[in-house]
Amino acid sequence: MTDRVYNFAAGPAVLPIPVLEEAQRDLLSLPGVGISVLEMSHRSPAIEDMMRAAEADIRTLAGIPDNYRILFLQGGASLQFSMVPMNLLGPGQSAGHIVTGHFARMALQEARSVGNINLAGSTEDDGFNRIPGQSELELDPDAAYLHFTTNNTIFGTEWQEEPDSGDVPLVADASSNIFSKPIDINRYGLVYAGAQKNLGAAGVTLVIIRDDLLERSPDTLPAMLNYQTHAKGNSAYNTPPVFAVYILGLVVKWLIAQGGLEAAQRRNREKAGLLYDAIDSSEYFRGHALPGHRSAMNVTFRLPDEDAEQRFVDEAAAQGLAELKGHRSVGGIRASIYNAFPVEGVEVLASFMKEFERTNG
């Protein structure tokens, strides 16, 4: 254990140590089964039970009622960028997309290669340093859905509450803040999230879809791109990514054991607060996101110049604070502190920031 570093990576990202320890303990042979999870048939009772338990635990953790289906898919959020319009956009219909960052822009671009998509709002002109206000949105009451990105990993901004889409179903890419705080699922028609930030390892995508939206999928879609296929097959129409679902299930159990989503929100606010305090009490560090729009998951900031930023990243890494370099598209520093990131690591980073400013500022 002592050789582990603090991993500030934006995703894939840090996992809870108890999850890793359980996976390690059982890696050669699941107790009572005599086969590794990596080797187990998705049709075996043990794996069917495991997948049902993961689904039930997600319903418990996030309060997901029976009129929503929970699917474990492959291809990441990137494949959802295409699957959402393929499944939800009827002939002649259009949908709205709000663009608040890099992945929101990718989602718009991919959706436009499928159908008619309107830009319902964007903060690109402000360098994506904020979330648009409700009054800035251009909403079409006849839209098939309204798509937004709940947290912007690269820019470090986060919706503090959902946009009001009226009767238009809300569709969210929640990859970078899912289950980091309570969610009122009834406000959503569909939520999707790659697992590798807050939910587990790369290789599985969680999709939560309301029953009425599930009925929109056209029969002409390829089976693997049709939500109905996966709903009818209980996410085992074809071989699911068994091990990635298993890890996701362990993470969800861990979140429940840690007190659920309200407790997660308290911990995440405390962690983010330590870093934003370090930024706000300094003349040396400049936060990218505007206060009131800041992400509790990804804290982004700049130093006076790129040389100082590179030194900061290098010296931090030498002290066991890894993966702090900002995304190549914006530069600077990014500290990703998802659910599983320990508060101790954040405290070490905050101290490191003060010391770095003292010697370099």
Query: Contact residues for a second copy (CB under 8 A)?
Result: 1, 3-5, 7, 9-15, 17, 20-21, 23-24, 27-29, 31, 33-36, 38-42, 44, 74-79, 81-82, 110, 113-114, 194, 196, 200-204, 220-225, 237-244, 247, 320, 322-323
- Closest to a second copy by CB, 11 or 287: 11
CB 254 → a second copy: shortest distance, Å? Answer: 14
CB 124 → a second copy: shortest distance, Å? Answer: 20
Other residues' Cβ atoms within 10 Å of the Cβ of residue 293: 22
- Closest to a second copy by CB, 14 or 89: 14
Look at the block and give the residue holding tokens 């939500």. Answer: 227
47, 40 in Cβ contact below 8 A?
yes
CB 327 → a second copy: shortest distance, Å? Answer: 9
Q: Is the peptide bond before 12 cis (omega within 30 degrees of 0)?
A: yes
69, 214 in Cβ contact below 8 A?
yes
- Closest to a second copy by CB, 223 or 290: 223
- Closest to a second copy by CB, 123 or 300: 300
- What is the three-class DSSP state of 11? coil
Which amino acid is located at 89 in the chain?
L
Which amino acid is located at 79 in the chain?
L
CB 283 → a second copy: shortest distance, Å? Answer: 31
What is the DSSP secondary-structure string of 186-205?
GG-SEEEEETTTTTSSTT-E
Nearest alpha-carbon partner for 188 in 205, 212, 222, 156? 212
- Closest to a second copy by CB, 41 or 160: 41
- Closest to a second copy by CB, 44 or 134: 44
CB 318 → a second copy: shortest distance, Å? Answer: 12
> Which residues on adjacent β-strands are paired with residue 256?
none
CB 207 → a second copy: shortest distance, Å? Answer: 14
The H or E element containing residue 102 is: helix 102-112
Look at the block and give the residue holding tokens 């206000």. Answer: 133
